[in-house]
Amino acid sequence: MVKCDSWDINRVSHFHSHDLGTTAWVRCLWCCLFVLSRRWVKAIVFGAVMVALVHHVYQVGMYTPASLVKFKASSLCDKTIRHRALHRFNVWQTVCKDPYFRLSKQKGVRNVMYTDRNKRLAFCSVPEVADTFWKGVIRYVNNASKTIRGIAVDIPRWQTYFLEQTSTEDQPATAIRFLFSEDPYIRLWKIWVEKYYLTGFWFKSFHDAKVLTQKCQSNMTFANFLRLITMKKYLDHPEQLNVYWRPQVLLCDICSLDPSFVGKMETFEADTRCILHMSNYSWALINQAKRGLGSLSNLALSMAPLKYRQWSQRRIRVLVQENFARWKAIPAARACVSFPDLVKKLWTAFQYLGYLPASAKVPNALLGRNEMKVETFLLESLYASLTWPGTTSKSRQLLREQAFRKIIVDAYTNVGQDVMGKIQVLYSEDFRTLDYRSQPLDMYFERYLSEDY
């Protein structure tokens, strides 16, 4: 006789993937059917149907930890964010359950995770995709600035590189696992601007960034950069690519990670606020009424990731700091570019990245100087960012996105069709699991008009 006890019912009621087992469901269902019907044949038929149904639900992962946290988020984040989270969740779950889809977990990927002291956040890091920001967040909530009222700028950027790394398996079940992603086309453009148009990789070997070179590589064009990363040896072994432009699924395997939340750079601010609410770190968010130029001294001159600051201003600060420091520290860099020319390149780079209007000329206050404080550049860039056309914040944001799309169009116009095809192959798993469109024309005209945004 099938035994029905309280353990079965309690086990089923928790709906947790680590506790939920098909065996428990079978035992409980058989028990209920036996009580409701004395006809064994009828019980067997109905039991078989119900077991098959429950097994299907279990197989598709309706009650995974990620879905549980997703439902938790429904009461903490607004409707639009919940819609995005659910859509992204369904996309990667569907792809990961495709038996013909050979994802990166079969290639020995080890997800590099960073966790806060309270074990509420578990961030999977992809270089240059909000990774410095979230490492700063984790150090901030760990009170690394020695005061709960301190701002994250008190934490030097280099210190974020020394956070303890863990693996996916080491994360507690209560932690909110998450990652941030970026459109592969836009990610490649930004990497080229930051690493090759600016001074980041001027003195590093393309094939091995650990090897320093004496030759100044300041003439790497975007088209040539794309041709190099799509060489046959990298198409065959993409794991050998530099981590900065390696496919994201080879850095964060979404299938083995089973994330609670997938954030995107296109919706960075809203996704970040949602994650902080979900993890009970909403205290780190500045009050809506305190935003704006009234707090100029605190906001404009700090990257302050948890005090409200536009992503563009945070990135401008980081890139100016890095390029100024590199120019001062490396004699070859000073021989390669003068300081006034470096300032001009920085200004143009921020226009390429969509941070500053294309019509904004380099301010006279920044010209003809052989040294400069980072804050001076930041203040001038802040004033320039206020000159975006538009009468409302929404219209200005729309015009900014349109201007940036035009920049991307122009950047990929001179890239041959053969290279574009190789890019689609190289980043095919990113396109599928992270819900981006691989066709360039979609990117040019309607990339941000899908239901996800």
Percent of the chain with pLDDT over 90: 28
Domain boundary among 63, 84, 100: 63
What residue type is 416 in one-letter code? G
DSSP output for 39-85 = -HHHHHHHHHHHHHHHHHHHHTTTTSHHHHHHHHHTTTS-HHHHHHH
Domain boundary among 347, 374, 395: 395
CA–CA separation, 76 and 55 (whole Å): 31
Would residue 52 count as lying in a domain? yes
Predicted pLDDT of residue 286:
54
The phi and psi torsions of 204 (rounded to 5 degrees) equal: -125, 145
Predicted pLDDT of residue 51:
53
Domain with 58 in it: 6-63
User: How wide is the angle at C-alpha 134 spanned by C-alphas 132 and 140, nearest 5°?
Assistant: 105
Biggest CA–CA distance in the chain, Å, is: 94
CA–CA separation, 298 and 215 (whole Å): 40
User: What is the pTM for the complete model shown?
Assistant: 0.74
Say yes or no to pLDDT of 79 above 60. Answer: yes
Would residue 176 count as lying in a domain? no
Alpha carbon separation from 386 to 6, 184, 381, 417 (Å, rounded): 64, 29, 9, 38
Predicted pLDDT of residue 269:
82
Q: Copy the structure tokens of residue 47.
A: 């039991």
Would residue 320 count as lying in a domain? yes
Q: In this predicted model, which residue has the larger pLDDT, 29 or 326?
A: 326
Compute the average pLDDT of residues 295-309.
32
Say yes or no to pLDDT of 409 above 70. Answer: yes
Predicted pLDDT of residue 142:
80
Of the candidates 61, 60, 89, 50, the residue with the CA atom closest to the CA atom of residue 73: 89
Residue 10 CB contacts under 8 Å (≥ 6 apart), including other chains: none
Q: Copy the structure tokens of residue 117.
A: 């002291």
DSSP letter at 302 equals -
Would residue 258 count as lying in a domain? no
The rounded mean pLDDT for the chain is 74
Collapsed DSSP state (helix, strand, coil) of residue 97:
coil
Say yes or no to pLDDT of 54 above 60. Answer: no
Q: What is the pLDDT of residues 129-177, one digit of tens each?
A: 988 888 888 888 887 444 433 334 333 444 444 445 554 555 566 788 9
Predicted pLDDT of residue 40:
58
Q: Please, are residues 19 and 11 in contact by the beta-carbon 8 Å criterion?
A: yes
Per the structure, how many domains does the chain have?
Answer: 2
Q: What are 115's strand-pairing partners?
A: 122
Q: Copy the structure tokens of residue 341.
A: 């020319």
Collapsed DSSP state (helix, strand, coil) of residue 244:
coil
Q: What is the pLDDT of residues 2-52, one digit of tens each?
A: 444 433 333 333 333 333 344 445 455 555 555 555 555 555 655 655 555
Q: In this predicted model, which residue has the larger pLDDT, 246 or 79?
A: 246
pLDDT band per the 50, 70, 90 thresholds, residue 449: very low
Would residue 87 count as lying in a domain? no
Q: What is the pLDDT of residues 169-202, one digit of tens each?
A: 555 667 889 999 999 999 999 999 999 999 888 8
Distance of CA 220 to the CA centre of its chain: 26
Could you count the other beta carbons within 10 Å of the beta carbon of residue 208? 10
Q: Copy the structure tokens of residue 151.
A: 């701002």
Domain boundary among 22, 44, 63: 63
What residue type is 220 in one-letter code? M
Q: What is the pLDDT of residues 341-384, one digit of tens each?
A: 999 999 999 999 999 999 999 999 999 888 889 899 989 998 98
Would residue 205 count as lying in a domain? no
Predicted pLDDT of residue 49:
55
Of the candidates 201, 203, 197, the residue with the CA atom closest to the CA atom of residue 219: 197
Q: What is the pLDDT of residues 258-283, one digit of tens each?
A: 888 999 988 888 888 889 888 888 77
Q: Which helix (H) or strand (E) holds 178?
A: strand 176-181
Would residue 226 count as lying in a domain? no
Residue 211 CB contacts under 8 Å (≥ 6 apart), including other chains: 204, 205
Q: Where are the alpha helices (DSSP H) in 205-310?
A: 222-229, 232-236, 254-257, 268-278, 296-299
Q: Which helix (H) or strand (E) holds 176?
A: strand 176-181
Would residue 351 count as lying in a domain? yes
Say yes or no to pLDDT of 217 above 60. Answer: yes
pLDDT band per the 50, 70, 90 thresholds, residue 63: very low
> Exposed/middle/buried for 130, CB within 10 Å: 0-12, 13-18, 19+?
buried
Predicted pLDDT of residue 21:
42
Q: Please, are residues 337 and 199 in contact by the beta-carbon 8 Å criterion?
A: yes
